[in-house]
Homo-oligomer: A and B are copies of this chain.
Amino acid sequence: MTPGERLRELGERLPPVAAPAGAYLPAVRSGSLVFTAGQVPFVDGRMAATGKVGAEVDVAQAAGFARICVLNALAAVDALVGLDSITRVVKITGYVASAPGFTEQPAVLDGASTFIGELFGDAGGHARSAVGVAELPKNAPVEVELVVEVTTEVSR
């Protein structure tokens, strides 16, 4: 089953590519790697929630938002080279807007990592860094970027 088929089986679909927040692109390919921009939990052009994790946003909510970030990142990859050209999810970097004393960033990012595992299986096995930052753009609670490996034969 392809990641696209698995996505549908999970009852999800890729959203439209979120407009970048500035003078940059949602994703760029160089050789067999695609780097996505940092994605925040935009849904239908609006931030799904704002605030700090550990204060206004709890861990379970934040994990759900991290999953939305991944959907947005995959939409960016899909628009660039096609979702099913991904041969490996290589790296996730996750930034969690953290209330003082909040140290469960890994549990937040597991919302991203678990979803990638569901979609890609073994090809979804990725390295990850999770850090707690002071502030994120537009008061987003979480921001996620991906580095993925793609087949260089496919482009669209």
> Taking beta carbons and an 8 Å cutoff, which residues of A are in contact with B?
20-28, 30-33, 35-38, 88, 90-93, 95-98, 100-107, 109-110, 113-114, 117, 125-139, 143, 145, 147, 149
Contact = CB atoms under 8 A, between A and B. Distances in A.
Contacts of A21: 106, 130
B117 A23 contact: yes
A38 B90 CA distance: 13
Contacts of A30: 32-33, 88, 90, 147, 149
Contacts of A37: 127-129
A137 B105 contact: yes
Given A23-B110, A105-B137, 15 more contacts: A22-B107, A22-B110, A24-B109, A24-B128, A30-B33, A30-B147, A35-B127, A38-B129, A96-B135, A97-B132, A127-B145, A131-B133, A131-B135, A131-B143, A133-B134
